[in-house]
Chains A and B, each alone.
Chain A
Amino acid sequence: DIQMTQSPSTLSASVGDRVTITCRASQSIDSWLAWYQQKPGKAPKLLIHDVSSLESGVPSRFSGSGSVTEFTLTISSLQPDDFATYYCQQYNTFSTFGQGTKVEIK
């Protein structure tokens, strides 16, 4: 099974900060990686698919990069609406989610 490891688990940041979340796969997943945002009590929301393709309607401050086994989600200037938990997901072989990164207010 492919394991996905996110870091950090929790991130404290301020509005306007540049934020980077890392996701590492236990083996190559090519470009089959997505990022989701989840707020408490709500379903996840797809932000990015295929490593770097922004989903329609998602603000351009979100971007994704990486390849093979190491990937990043970057928020260029953190906004109040961005405080949430973020998950990476591989879909190269079945599907596996990372354990999540909670972005909280500093």
Chain B
Amino acid sequence: EVQLLESGGGLVQPGGSLRLSCAASGFTFSIYAMSWVRQAPGRGLEWVSGISSSGGSTYYADSVKGRFTISRDNSKNTVYLQMNSLRTEDTAVYYCAKGRGSSSREFDYWGQGTLVTVSS
């Protein structure tokens, strides 16, 4: 059974940093792309960042480019999202999502989400 378990969310002040983690199990992690998708309270879905299966290619939404960094450790079956210079508009539930292929950005499995709140 595919499982994606996010962690690392919480309350942070504007300008602060957080690192989200997503531990994967139930599939061969190293051959699938992974992404982070967020959803602000009461709002729609926003793709944030993606990484290819090898980690050699990374992609970012304009809204987070230069502030967020995605990475993965295929030996630990984990994908990360380092979030710096956080803004109030980054407040959202952050979902980890598995791509259907090695560079895919359509997602067949999602985690349960972790809430990030940016507030003073």
Interface residues of A (CB under 8 A from B): 1, 32, 34, 36, 38, 43-46, 49-50, 55, 87, 89, 91, 94-100
Contacts and interface: CB of A to CB of B under 8 A. Distances in A.
Contacts of A98: 44
B78 interface: no
B44 A97 contact: yes
Which of B59, B95, B108, B113 has the most C-beta atoms of chain A within 10 angstroms of its own C-beta? B108
A95 B34 CA distance: 13
Given A94-B50, A94-B61, A95-B50, A46 B106 contact: yes
Interface string B96-120: 0000100011111011110000000
A49 B44 contact: no
From A49, A87, A94, A97, name the one whose CB has the most chain B CB atoms within 10 angstroms. Answer: A94
Interface in B17-76: 35, 37, 44-47, 50, 59, 61-62
Interface of B: 35, 37, 44-47, 50, 59, 61-62, 95, 100, 104-108, 110-113
Nearest to A55: B108
- Counting chain A CB atoms within 10 Å of each CB, which of B45, B47, B100, B113 scores highest? B45
A39 to B, nearest CB: 12
Nearest to A97: B45
21 contacts: A32-B106, A34-B106, A36-B45, A43-B112, A43-B113, A44-B37, A44-B95, A46-B107, A49-B100, A89-B47, A89-B106, A91-B105, A94-B47, A94-B61, A94-B105, A95-B50, A95-B105, A97-B37, A97-B45, A97-B47, A98-B44
Contacts of B35: 95
Nearest to A35: B106
Nearest to B112: A43
